[in-house]
Each structure stands twice: as structure tokens, then as C-alpha cells.
């Protein structure tokens, strides 16, 4: 692990709900751990799983200017990991508002370089994955929401993103692909 002045690299794994972001992060974590490469993994959904969600007024006494509880929680978690010498962070989340999401992430970890990894799949594959994951009354609404998210993301420019097609590929294949493309496995030669 590196010193406190070493740069921080964040892999921000994005894509529609149900595409496999969490599964990919777990698999990348396993690959990195097996290779002895220090890293941290945080799912952004867990940073603001609170009700009622605090607004700027409630957050101001904790951190003036903070607009999102995710920012404060990420800063708190990262402060511990950084003190332990970590410089690599894998984060996952849908991230529909990427400019806003990058801003709160950088407010929490100002010295970070963010590499956005966008996962995509065909509608049929995405629905199959959601069918395995979703149950109950909310299933159809989640499928509709995920398909809307995928369509919106497909309409955005992919400039500056690492784009990963997931159809027909295993989590292990995807993890090696992503980690290879971003250079996190280069030290293994």
C-alpha cells in the first residue's frame, strides 16, 4: 500500500439496475485479492440507505455545503481506508446523473482520479437478469425502470468511459477485462 500522498484511483462501475454491477465488483475484488493487490469496494447504494433522507439543512451542521449524505458517508469510510494506506477504490452505482455523482464523490475524496466503467447489455439479457433477481409486485416496475435507464445511458456520449458489453460473458471474464483495460493488473506482468 502507498503513503498518504499517493494518488487515489476510483473505478466507478455504472449501468442500469440489474446489469450486474455488484456481481462484477465482487468478482474484481476476488481477482485483486488473489493477486495480492490492495483495494476497497463500496456500493454507493449503501451510502444513503436511510429514511428519512437528510437534506442540506440537516447536513449543514455536519459539513457546511454538503448536499448529499452519500458524500459524508463516503468521506468517513474513505478516511479510514486512506489512513490504512489504500489508494484503489471500486465503487458501483447506477449513476444516472454522472456529473452530479462525480461531484459528490470528488467532494468526499478530492485527490481522486475517477475512471467510469459503463456496463451495457441488450434488453433481452437485462430482462433475464432482472427476472432472476426481482420478485413480487415491484418486479414489472423495476424492469421498466431498468430498461429506461439502459436506453438513457445508451443515448449518452461514451467519451471518456470504458464501455463493457456484458451479454453472454461471465463475471470472471468481465472482471479480467475491466481490470486489464484500466491497468490494475499490470503489476502482475
Mean pLDDT of the 34-60 span: 94
pLDDT score at 138? 82
Q: What global pTM score does this model have?
A: 0.90
Q: Which fold would CATH assign to domain 8-177?
A: Rossmann fold (3.40.50)
Strands 88-92 and 40-43: parallel
Q: What is the pLDDT of residue 136?
A: 79
Nearest to residue 4, comparing CAs of 94, 78, 115, 113?
78
pLDDT reported for residue 112: 96
Residue 187: predicted pLDDT: 59
pLDDT digits (tens, 9 = 90+) for 125-177: 988 888 888 777 888 888 899 999 999 999 888 888 999 999 999 999 999 99
> Per this entry, what is the length of the chain?
189
Residue 188 — very low, low, confident or very high, per pLDDT cuts 50/70/90?
low
Domain ranges (residues) in the chain: 8-177
pLDDT band for 1, please (50, 70, 90 cuts): low
* pLDDT exceeds cutoff 60 at 189: no
CA distance 37 to 29: 9
Give the mean pLDDT of 26-53. 95
- Which residues, in sequence order, are CB contacts of 91 under 8 Å at separation 6+? 10, 11, 12, 13, 41, 42, 43, 44, 105
Contact 1, 89 (CB under 8 A): no
Amino acid at each position: 500500500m502507498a503513503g498518504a500522498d499517493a494518488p487515489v484511483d476510483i473505478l466507478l462501475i455504472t449501468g442500469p439496475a440489474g446489469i450486474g454491477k455488484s456481481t462484477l465488483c465482487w468478482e474484481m475484488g476476488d481477482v485483486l485479492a488473489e493477486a495480492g493487490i490492495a483495494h476497497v469496494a463500496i456500493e454507493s447504494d449503501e451510502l444513503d440507505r436511510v429514511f428519512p433522507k437528510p437534506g442540506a439543512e440537516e447536513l449543514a451542521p455536519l459539513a457546511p455545503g454538503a448536499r448529499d449524505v452519500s458524500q459524508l458517508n463516503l468521506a468517513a469510510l474513505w478516511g479510514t481506508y486512506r489512513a490504512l494506506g489504500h489508494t484503489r477504490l471500486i465503487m458501483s452505482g447506477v449513476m444516472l446523473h454522472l456529473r452530479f455523482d462525480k461531484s459528490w464523490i470528488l467532494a468526499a475524496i478530492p485527490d481522486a482520479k475517477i475512471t467510469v466503467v459503463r456496463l451495457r447489455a441488450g434488453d433481452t439479457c437485462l430482462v433475464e437478469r432482472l427476472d432472476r433477481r426481482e420478485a413480487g409486485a415491484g418486479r414489472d416496475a423495476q424492469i421498466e425502470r431498468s430498461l429506461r435507464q439502459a436506453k438513457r445511458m445508451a443515448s449518452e456520449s461514451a467519451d471518456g468511459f470504458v464501455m463493457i458489453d456484458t451479454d453472454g460473458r461471465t463475471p470472471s471474464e468481465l472482471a479480467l477485462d475491466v481490470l486489464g483495460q484500466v491497468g490494475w493488473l499490470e503489476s502482475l506482468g
